[in-house]
Amino acid sequence: MFLCISVPSIQYFLHQKGMLSSGVHYVFDTTIAADFSILESQREFVQRYQQRNQEEHALPMFASACPGWIRYAERVLTNLVTSHICTAKSPQQIMGSLVKGYFARQQNLSPDKIFHVIVAPCYDKKLEALREDFYTALYNSQDVDCVLTSGEIVQIMEQKNVSMKDVTEVAVDSLFGEIKEGDVVRHDGKTSDGYLEHIFKHAAKELFGMDVKEITYKALKNKDFQEVTLEKDGETLLRFAAAYGFRNIQNMVLKLKKGKFSYHFVEVLACPGGCLNGKGQAQTEDGKPDKALLNQMEEVYAAIPVRLPETNMHVQKMYQDWLEGMDSKKVQETLHTKYSAVNQTASNLDIKW
C-alpha cells in the first residue's frame, strides 16, 4: 500500500493523476502528528521547569522539530547542548508512528506492507527519516520510507503537465476509518507549528495560573531572533526566544557555553524565516527562494482556522485507546526519542555561515 502525507490542495493530483506508477491509496494531513508533538513538548517543558533546581540540564529546553538544527547539534555540538533538546519526536516522525503503528493495526496490515511518504519543505527531513531510532528491525521497516520536498512535488507536476489550476481541492483521508477529520486547521503562532506560543501559554497556566491570550514578540538583533516574556509585579517569570537561522543558533550556543543564557525555552529552526522558507520549497530559476511566493504562503497560512491541540478529540481518544494513557511507557516509546552528540572537535564553533 502506498501512502502519501500532504495538504488537501494536491490530494486530487496524488490520487487521480498517478504521481507514481502504483498510485496513492491514502493522503493524510500531518496536523494531528503536530498536535501530539506540541502536547508532549508542553508537558516536558513543565516537568523540566519543575525539576530545574535538581536537574542540571533541565533548562533551557530547545525545540526538537527541526531536523537541520538536530543534525547540527548532534554532529557539531557537545552533550552540554543536546541534553537540553526536547525529547518529543518531530511531527514527521510521530506521523510515521501513527501510520506504521496505529493505522497499520486498524487496517490489519504489517508495517512493512505500507510505503509511507512524507511531503515536506525541508531536505533535512530526508535524513531524519533514515535515523536508526525510527527503524523497526522486527518488520525491517522505517516509520517514514521516503520524503519528497514540496519543490520536488512541483517538479513532478510539471513533468506530468499538471497545473494547480487543474486540481480540485477535496478532503484528506482519515486515520480513523469512516470518520472525516474535516477542514485543514493550523496551530496558533508563527508558520512552523507555533511551538513557542503553545508551550508559553501552557506553562503560564500550569506553572503560574495565568491565562495568556496574546503574545508579543520583541525583535532583538534581527527579525529572526525574537523573545517573549511573562511578567508579573515587575518580575520576569518566563523568558522564551525564537532563534531562526544558523547565525542566531551559533550566538545562542556561545551564550549557553559561557553561562550567560537567560532563556527557559527556545524555538530553534535552521532556516531563516522558519519552515515556510525551507530549502525544499519551490525555487526561482536562479535557485533562490521565491519571496513573492513566500509572502503568499504566509498569507494563506494565516487565513487557515486555528485549532488548539488540546481540543482534538481524536488525539485524546488515541492517548487512551492506543497509547494506554498520557503517562504510559508506550507514550515514551511512541512519541519520544533521544538526542546526543556524535562528533566533537575543538573548532566546531568556528564554522561560518
Cα–Cα distance, 86 to 103 (Å, whole number): 26
Exposure letters 238-251 (e unless 16+ CB within 10 A, then b):
bbbbbbbbbbbbbe
From the list 3, 6, 2, 25, the residue with the least C-alpha distance to 15 is 25
In this predicted structure, what is the pLDDT of residue 5?
47
**What DSSP element (H or E) covers 158?**
helix 150-159
pLDDT number for residue 349 = 46
Which residues of the chain fall below pLDDT 50? 1-8, 21, 179, 345-353
**Exposure of 132 by Cβ count < 10 A (0-12 exposed, 13-18 middle, 19+ buried)?**
exposed
Predicted pLDDT of residue 279: 82
C-alpha cell at 157: 507536476
What's 186's DSSP letter?
A: B
End-to-end Cα separation, the chain, in angstroms: 42
CATH of domain 2-169+184-332: 3.40.950.10
In this prediction the pTM is 0.88
pLDDT in tens, 182-226: 566 777 766 667 899 999 999 999 999 999 999 999 998 888 999
Residue pair 114/100 in contact by the 8 Å Cβ criterion: yes
For 104, residues 6+ apart whose C-beta sits below 8 A from its C-beta are 110, 111, 113, 114
Pairwise CA distance, residues 169 & 167, whole Å: 6
